[in-house]
Structure 1
Amino acid sequence: MARLADVSAPPPGAAAMKFSDRAGYLERVRNRKMAESPHAFVRGSTSLFYEWLQKHDQGLPQGPAIWICGDCHLGNLGALADLEGGVAIQIRDFDQTVIGNPAHDLVRLGLSLASAIRSSDLPGVTTAHMLDNLLAGYIEARAVPSGAAGRSDDLKKLIKRAVRRRWHNLATERFEGSDGALPRNRRFWPLHRGERGKVLSFCHNLNMLALTPDTAHHGKATWKVVDAAYWIKGCSSLGHLRVAALLRGKHHRMALLDVKEATAAAAPAAPHTSMPKNHAERVIAGAKAISPNLGDRMACGLLDGKPVFVRAISPQDMKLEIDSLTGEQTQTIAHHLGAIVGLSHRQQMEDAAWQSWTKDLRRTADAKADAPTWLWASVVDLLASHELAYLDHCRRFALAK
């Protein structure tokens, strides 16, 4: 259990940063982020993707009902540390996780990769080859051990960097290296007076043994809440409650907590399935099934009457960030990301169910070139609809400025 420090007063300079219209400001931030590029728009426009699914779901292969990410795009994959310090590339965001059709994750990831290809000014044939590699990697997931996912140069570099990272790297990146308090800047805002006490009390009552990997080696740890701030992070979730909390434990150990409001999933769930009604519990159940490295170090609770889930951010947790792609690089990444998503699905199925599911997918992959596969047809249709929506968003955003 964490211990409450004397942090009742706002940090110096906080009085100068009063954002009374928090919701309005965050909406403007979200709109600006989504206008940066077609790929950024795809990441932030999850509702548009789900609207498309409502109309076209019957045209997709219907796989076994399992936990899926629900929002499987490039920014939601990356390096994740487990409780023993091991690092693997896994899915890292579960706001939209549901028990649903595994084909949805493939389509969402295919759209994300295709939009990244478009943003990199690569020819259309690159997209066609990429989708072939994505599907092939997914189907062959059983032959790719989780530790081998880094064979792609980009993923190998990500794992290499992640393994070497320590707390000072995280502190420098996230909050300017200070161990005494979180900064107050465009990313970290002062909490409203009523929120602050509730956040500190919530963190005080957390069981840190379930969240941090190193406490297991030091027995029961006593943690002190050093500071907390409203965290401006992500895109589609902007506007919902999100808090960063800084804690100090024994032997000068530090912990950074990400406390995030859990909202109803827009992703379609499979019929006749049973999931936790509490949205935070649903998020953790999905994370444990899909990405144990993350799911096994998460907790949930109620903060100000809202369901929230918590994770202690490890220095080894790193998002996959790719600014531009080359043709060859795209094919390798697509194959290995397909394998990673495939492994996250396969570990939830019996061997017979996986064999039957991949047999159906292999049959579509072997279709003649003049008969587009479901994945190609889906991604092309989504690209077209998202391009129109992106241009309209940019126009509305520009006129509103």
Structure 2
Amino acid sequence: MAGKRDRDRKPPDFEGRQAVLSTMRNAKMARSAHAYVRGNTMQFYEWLETRGTTVLPDGPALWICGDCHTGNLGPVADAQGRVEIQIRDLDQTVIGNPAHDLIRLGLSLATAARGSDLPGLTTVHMMEALADGYERAFARATKGKEIGGLKRPESVRVVMKEAVRRSWKHLAVERLEDTKPTIPLGRRFWPLTKEETAQISALFEKGAISQLATSLRARRDDGAVSVLDAAYWVKGCSSLGRLRYAVLLDVDGGVVDGDDLCLIDVKEGVKAAAPRYPGVDMPKDNAERVVEGARHLAPFLGERMRADRLLDRPVVIRELLPQDIKLEIDQLTQSGAMDVARYVAQVVGIAHARQLDHRARAAWLKELRRARSKTIDAPPWLWSSVVELAGSHETAYLEHCRRYALAIA
């Protein structure tokens, strides 16, 4: 019954969207401490501004995720159908300090461990595995060895197996709740204004944008592309409140099967809160920044993204493929926690290492291995940062829950 009430509830008008989205975001963040960490990126950046710069090493300048938690990693397909685990959300990407990605990832894993009721000793070993996995990626790259082909833990193998077998029907049922060539309005999809409808139609009349739908191996490069339907998309957590649209396209007409249909995600690119290195050369347009960062950090995803403008705001456009799913690590087991930490750290390490030459890789690896203590086999700054952040986020999460309870009472 609750699902039916959600579908029957009248969506807000254009002016009322922001208030509804803010309430939904607060509700999502109240679900668990891990959800709060994933949704409240600002607290992490505020910590970096006040404390992190005095205790962290100056890593090499490279494109970082900027919001490197476990939910932002997962299987990603390229235009040729290959699938790899890569970083899949680049909203906060900047040229900055790679130490920031390591700490953010460590905080996410530590929070997931607490949510899984694992002992503190397991968290200690997870941080050691995190450091080991990241360093392994750099060590192999420094020695000129192939840095792909990682050994996947069981939880990752399950996700990859699911990703590879998925088809358009899986994507349609998951995202659109049906396989019909329409976007159902309701809780997740809201109607557009006339201006939004007109501008979305104009956007996909541009050759560079419509080519996103014809770039896949199974489609003709010169196929005609038309907009079948579009809606405002209530999606994400920290991104709720930005422009976000789902656009359903048809390639070559006929709407015969999934190969003819494309689900496009149009997402506003906003100014990154993640700290960047001063004086670095990055695109000033926020959508172009996201696309450029993706090309360096997640090539499979980057090649399937375009930057443009909609309603006079920068937007990132990409086709959602059935294989693009989250690597959900909300629940960890004591036996598998270290394997997961080591694996995701290697994924991030590969994304960082591929951007550097031999000398820069070797120098960063040396810094990572410097000044190890006898009590934990991980960089002291990594451990102390994660401990401090885990404590402050737990306090902030409980306070968030108190305010949310008052708001809905």
TM over 0.5: yes
2:49 to 48, 54, 60: 54
2:209 to 200, 207, 210: 207
Deviation at 1:216, TM superposition (A): 6.8
- Please name the residue that 1:218 is paired with: 220
State yes or no: 1:331 paired with 2:338: yes
State the distance in 2 between where 1:184 and 1:266 align.
32
Query: Aligned ranges for residues 54-133 of structure 1 at < 5 Å?
Result: 54-55=49-50, 56-133=52-129
State the distance in 1 between where 2:190 and 2:81 align.
31
State yes or no: 1:362 paired with 2:369: yes
2:212/2:318 contact within 8 Å kept: no
- Read off the aligned partner of 1:27 and give its amino acid letter: S
- Read off the aligned partner of 1:350 and give its amino acid letter: D
State yes or no: 1:17 paired with 2:11: yes
Mark the runs of 5 or more structure 2 residues left unpaired by the alignment.
1-6
**1:39-69: per-residue Cα shift (whole Å, max 9, x none)?**
0000111000000000222211211000000
State yes or no: 1:45 paired with 2:45: no
- Please name the residue that 2:183 is paired with: 182
Deviation at 1:147, TM superposition (A): 4.9
Deviation at 1:208, TM superposition (A): 2.9
SS at match of 2:265: strand
**1:148-186: per-residue Cα shift (whole Å, max 9, x none)?**
335211111111111111111111111122332101121
- Please name the residue that 2:131 is paired with: 135
- Please name the residue that 1:26 is paired with: 21
Identify which range, 170-179 or 130-139, moves more after superposition.
Answer: 170-179
SS at match of 1:248: strand
State percent identity of aligned pairs: 49
Query: Aligned ranges for residues 245-256 of structure 1 at < 5 Å?
Result: 245-250=247-252, 252=256, 253-256=260-263
State the distance in 2 between where 1:384 and 1:17 align.
38
- Read off the aligned partner of 1:107 and give its amino acid letter: I
- Read off the aligned partner of 2:373 and give its amino acid letter: A
1:299 to 297, 303, 306: 306
Assess, with a 3 A threshold, how the Cα gap between structure 1 residues 25 and 16 changes in structure 2: closer, same or farther: closer
Assess, with a 3 A threshold, how the Cα gap between structure 1 residues 217 and 26 changes in structure 2: closer, same or farther: closer
- Read off the aligned partner of 2:211 and give its amino acid letter: L
Deviation at 1:207, TM superposition (A): 3.0
2:242 to 224, 240, 243: 240
2:214/2:220 contact within 8 Å kept: no
- Please name the residue that 2:295 is paired with: 288
State the distance in 1 between where 2:212 and 2:248 align.
16
**1:163-222: per-residue Cα shift (whole Å, max 9, x none)?**
111111111111122332101121111112322222222233253324554257523111
Deviation at 1:362, TM superposition (A): 1.3
Query: Aligned ranges for residues 147-186 of structure 1 at < 5 Å?
Result: 147-149=148-150, 151-186=152-187
Q: After the TM superposition, list the runs of 4 or more consecutive aligned residues in structure 1 that deviate by more than 4 angstroms.
A: 13-16, 144-147
State the distance in 2 between where 1:145 and 1:168 align.
35
